[in-house]
Amino acid sequence: MKSVKLILFSAMFVLLTGNLFSQTQTRPPGTGTQSDPYLISTINHLAWMSENSAAWWLSPTTSVFFKQIADIDASVTTNWNSGAGFRPIGHQATVNGQSGRHFVGEYDGQHYTISNLFINRSGSDDRAGFFNEVTGINENTRSVVRNLKLVNANIKNGAGNPSYVGGIAARVRNAVISNCSTTGTIGNSLSITIIAGGIAGDIRSNTLIKFSYSLANVTALGGVASYAGGLVGYASSDNTGTDAGIRDSYSRGNVRAEGQPVFSNFGAGGIVGRIENNNSSIERCYATGRVELSRVCP
C-alpha cells in the first residue's frame, strides 16, 4: 500500500511541476490595431505572442500594435522549450505560405519591466533576443519598439552563421528603438561569425536607436569573426545614403570579444563592435564599462 501511495504521489508531483513550468498561451485583450492594440500584462500573453506568428505579422504592408500594461516576471522561461527558453518574437516563421516573416508593427512597453527573461537558442536558431528581427514596412513606415525595459535578462545564442544576439532584438532594419533598456548578460559563442549587442545585435539601414541604455555584460567569444558592442554589435548602411544611427544613448556594461588568431575580423566597443560604411553614425553617446578584445587559438 505504501508503494502504491508513493507512486501516486510521484505521479501527482510530476503533473503539478509539469503544469507549473509548462508554457501556457493566452490571447491578450485587443485586436492589434493602432486604436485597439493588444494589451500585454502576463507571461502567458508573451507566450502567445512568441508562438503565434500571425500575432505579429499580417502582411508586408500591415503593422500590428501592442502595449504592455504591467510588469511581467519571466522567470518561468528557464523551463520552456526543453531548456531553450523563450522563443524570440518575430522568428523566421512561414505565414500564409511566405517564409522569413519578422515582427512588423509597434510594441510600447510603457516603461513597465520584463524581468528574468531566459533565452538559450544555441541549438536551434541563428538569432536570439526578445525580438528575433524587427522590420519596417519601408523606409517611410518604420516599425517601432519603445519604452521597453528588460531586467536581469539572460540571453545567449550559438547556432547558425552568422549568429546574432541582442537584448531588445537580434536584428533590426527599417525600425526605431526608443527609450529601451537592458540589464543582465547577453552573449554569443560556438559559431563562425558572432555578433552581440546590449540593445541589438545587428542594425541595418534606416534604423535608429535613441534615448536607450544597457547595463548588460556582452560577449562574443571564439568566432572566426566576432563583434561585441555595449549597445550594438554591428551597424551598417546600404548605398542609398540612409543611415543606421545610435543617438543619445549609453552603455555601462562590460564588453568582451575573442577572435581566432589567423583572422582579423573581430572588434569590441563600448557603444558598437563595428561600424561599416560612412553613412552610419553615433551621436551624443557614452560608455563606461570595461572593453576587452583578444585573440584565441581555435
0.75 exceeded by pTM: yes
Q: How far apart are CA 274 and CA 29, in angstroms?
A: 41
According to the model, what pLDDT value does residue 14 have?
A: 39
Q: Express each pLDDT in 95-107 by its tens digit.
A: 555 555 689 999 9
Q: Express each pLDDT in 241-279 by its tens digit.
A: 567 899 999 999 999 998 776 656 788 999 999 988 767
- Residue 76: inside a domain, yes or no? yes
Percent of the chain with pLDDT over 70: 82
Q: Express each pLDDT in 189-240 by its tens digit.
A: 766 788 999 999 999 888 999 999 999 999 998 777 889 999 999 998 765 5
Question: Which class for 89: exposed (0-12), middle (13-18), buried (19 or more C-beta within 10 A)?
Answer: buried
Q: Which of 18, 51, 47, 45 is CA-nearest to residue 29?
A: 45
- Local confidence band at 11 (pLDDT 50, 70, 90 cut-offs): very low
Total number of domains in the chain: 1
- Residue 6: inside a domain, yes or no? no
- Residue 137: inside a domain, yes or no? yes
According to the model, what pLDDT value does residue 272 have?
A: 96
- Residue 64: inside a domain, yes or no? yes
- Residue 3: inside a domain, yes or no? no
Position with higher pLDDT, 24 vs 16: 24
For the chain, the average pLDDT equals: 85
Give the range of the structural domain holding residue 173, as residue numbers without chain letter: 25-295
Grid cell listed for 202: 545587428
Q: Is the pLDDT of residue 94 over 60?
A: no
- Residue 177: inside a domain, yes or no? yes
Query: What CATH number corresponds to the domain at position 215?
Result: 2.160.20
Cα separation of the two ends of the chain: 59
Q: Which of 179, 166, 165 is CA-nearest to residue 209?
A: 179
- CA–chain centroid gap for 285, Å, is 21
**CA distances, 38 to each of 28, 55, 126, 154, 173 (Å):** 6, 9, 28, 26, 23
- Residue 16: inside a domain, yes or no? no
Q: Express each pLDDT in 118-127 by its tens digit.
A: 999 876 567 8
According to the model, what pLDDT value does residue 223 have?
A: 75
According to the model, what pLDDT value does residue 240 have?
A: 56
Cβ 194 vs Cβ 157: under 8 Å: no
Mean pLDDT along residues 3-10: 42
Q: Express each pLDDT in 127-143 by its tens digit.
A: 899 999 998 888 788 99
Q: Which residues are within 8 A (CB) of 137 and not within 5 positions of it... i.e. 6 or more apart?
A: 60, 61, 62, 63, 104, 143, 174
Q: How far apart are CA 203 and CA 244, in angstroms?
A: 6
Question: Which class for 10: exposed (0-12), middle (13-18), buried (19 or more C-beta within 10 A)?
Answer: exposed
Percent of the chain with pLDDT over 90: 57
According to the model, what pLDDT value does residue 247 have?
A: 96
Q: Is the pLDDT of residue 9 over 80?
A: no
Q: How many helices (H) and strands (E) does the chain have?
A: 3, 31
SS3 content of the chain, % helix, strand, coil (to 5): 15, 45, 40
Q: How far apart are CA 96 and CA 110, in angstroms?
A: 31
- Residue 138: inside a domain, yes or no? yes
Q: Is the pLDDT of residue 115 over 70?
A: yes
